[in-house]
Structure 1
């Protein structure tokens, strides 16, 4: 074999090895919250199921800055379908209101892949508190201004913004303490550092079942099957709903055929009865759809929440 043939033979083998290694690289779902929270648990279920079906998928946590850290990371990632971010109305909508400057452009830097789940915002409180539902909490806040410490998984997260909007509508105030996700906030609740917490049922369910937390109110049209005894806000006289919708987004230049492949794989998992059962057991309602469905839902959320957040006149966060 002459040197030229040997060179091109080696080059061909190297290319084949490189292609094989690229195929072995897992798809990464970046979660903008600390590990151990509700959305983290759900996306790990999703990643495990995708892996079982041949699409090796991992979860990487990048908390910080009300999802700015994760969004910036994925916005700058290679648009090859191997890096996705768990997105939501805060990251792609209300952050534009709350931050003077963002290192990413929510409108230009991402492309829709799929909605993946839905659940309502809830307010939970420690069971030893002197109020047992949201109406009693409102009465307590009026009688004791500034006495309630309220946590959230981030200042720009809907499970903070919805309670702030609710409080403003009633003329009450709690002391807001933000965290980098559900897990550290739950620990603060358990150590009595905060009294109530705006969150979802997923992260708080084990502590509700153990008797440490109580759901004070559900911001939805119906009660949650996991805690059927917990009243909705509407039942207590407050016409206020705040759905939490979770999406997956990819870098903007990701090819359409790659997005279509990802969407198909994700939606096949989301409608699987065994997966739905596992998801509902932790308080998540799997919901999928096309990229176009995701865009419609997200745009509707932005149209609702951006004006509400602007009306709150919250201080801008610097970068």
Structure 2
């Protein structure tokens, strides 16, 4: 029996098959190219949810400067202040998960969410590393009439609602610190919100308020320069660079609060990109210029792996949930 002749191909069907094959081959080529492309291959943005000049901005710019020198690619800081960090956190979480838009996350990612200010929460990110932790301090101008924490609280007690304290924004960590201080002492302050720590400190320096709550990284230089006086720190023990300043606990005020900054990426960021970023943080942390900047600015230098950090943030979120409910801050 003669062999069966092949059926002629319908022209339109053949064109469809050729197109599908071409698309498939193109997809494979693109996939291969994406895998082969080193990261970072172009500039990287770091969103800071706070104003220029604050502690978060300083930490991000120090990291960006070191990362640029070490990788040869530009790391660019983009400030997105407002809504107690919610605007910047939301933009960062919603970014394309390719490693080219990162976020300098702060505790307000939980605080703003719990208070109904923002929709983004801490679990919407993959964490590369926590790179800074600083205790919160109460400061006044160097020529203020209060030389001690007791003198300031005595003034506030005799002038209810008149002692004004600036903070970095409604619902932010420093605002929480002020409210916690009120609850622990029975005092009432005039809490004045600014759009970030830098404007809050400038408000104090310019005489707009009586005091400010901020971190050592934001006020330390002004204290050492003789412009501000630090009355107390909300830390477990006294600080090495400010060992003459008592803790609140020493003055029978049981308040311990700090703030931190962590480099994070959108939740769906590929594991290889996260691994590369973690290696980069390790290198940056050892960079002498980076370390010198942190020491000079009185910023707390840490390098806490993002994987382990998630468990801590889960516990911290529970703590903030209790605090927000107890202080009746939820909207």
Q: TM-score per shorter chain, which class?
A: 0.7 to 0.9
Unaligned runs of 5+ in 1: 1-11
Selected match of 1:85 from 98, 103, 108? 103
- State the partner residue of 2:120: 104
Q: CA shift at 1:127, angstroms?
A: 2.4
- State the partner residue of 1:52: 69
Within-5 A mapping of 1:289-300:
289-300=304-315
292 and 315 in structure 1: CA distance in 2 versus 1, 3 angstrom threshold: closer
- Tell me if the contact between 2:178 and 2:191 (Cα under 8 Å) persists in the aligned partners: no
295 and 206 in structure 1: CA distance in 2 versus 1, 3 angstrom threshold: same
- State the partner residue of 2:209: 194
Residues 237-261 of structure 1, C-alpha deviations (whole Å, 9 max, x = no match)? 2232112221122111111111111
Q: Give the Cα separation in 2 of the matches to 1:218 and 1:98.
A: 25
Q: CA shift at 1:158, angstroms?
A: 1.3
Q: TM-score, normalization: structure 1?
A: 0.86
Question: Larger radius of gyration, structure 1 or 2?
Answer: 2
Does the alignment pair 1:70 with 2:88? yes
37 and 140 in structure 1: CA distance in 2 versus 1, 3 angstrom threshold: same
- Name which of structure 1's ranges 51-60 and 269-278 shifts more when overlaid on structure 2: 269-278
Q: CA shift at 1:232, angstroms?
A: 1.3
Q: Give the Cα separation in 2 of the matches to 1:220 and 1:130.
A: 24
RMSD over aligned Cα atoms: 2.4
Q: Give the Cα separation in 1 of the matches to 2:94 and 2:261.
A: 21
- Name which of structure 1's ranges 255-264 and 22-31 shifts more when overlaid on structure 2: 22-31
- State the partner residue of 1:25: 42
Q: Give the Cα separation in 2 of the matches to 1:42 and 1:311.
A: 31
- Name which of structure 1's ranges 72-81 and 127-136 shifts more when overlaid on structure 2: 127-136
Q: Give the Cα separation in 2 of the matches to 1:267 and 1:256.
A: 17
Q: Give the Cα separation in 2 of the matches to 1:182 and 1:132.
A: 23
Q: Give the Cα separation in 2 of the matches to 1:75 and 1:194.
A: 35
Q: TM-score, normalization: structure 2?
A: 0.83
- State the partner residue of 1:3: none
Q: CA shift at 1:270, angstroms?
A: 1.7
- Tell me if the contact between 1:216 and 1:231 (Cα under 8 Å) persists in the aligned partners: yes
The DSSP-based 3-state class of the residue aligned with 1:114 is strand
Selected match of 1:129 from 144, 147, 156? 144
Q: Give the Cα separation in 2 of the matches to 1:270 and 1:56.
A: 18
Q: CA shift at 1:221, angstroms?
A: 1.8
- State the partner residue of 2:51: 34
- Tell me if the contact between 1:151 and 1:178 (Cα under 8 Å) persists in the aligned partners: yes
- Tell me if the contact between 1:215 and 1:230 (Cα under 8 Å) persists in the aligned partners: yes
- State the partner residue of 2:12: none
290 and 22 in structure 1: CA distance in 2 versus 1, 3 angstrom threshold: closer
Unaligned runs of 5+ in 2: 1-28
Aligned residues: 299
Q: CA shift at 1:25, angstroms?
A: 2.6
Residues 15-47 of structure 1, C-alpha deviations (whole Å, 9 max, x = no match)? 99xx98995531111111111112211221111
Within-5 A mapping of 1:156-235:
156-235=171-250
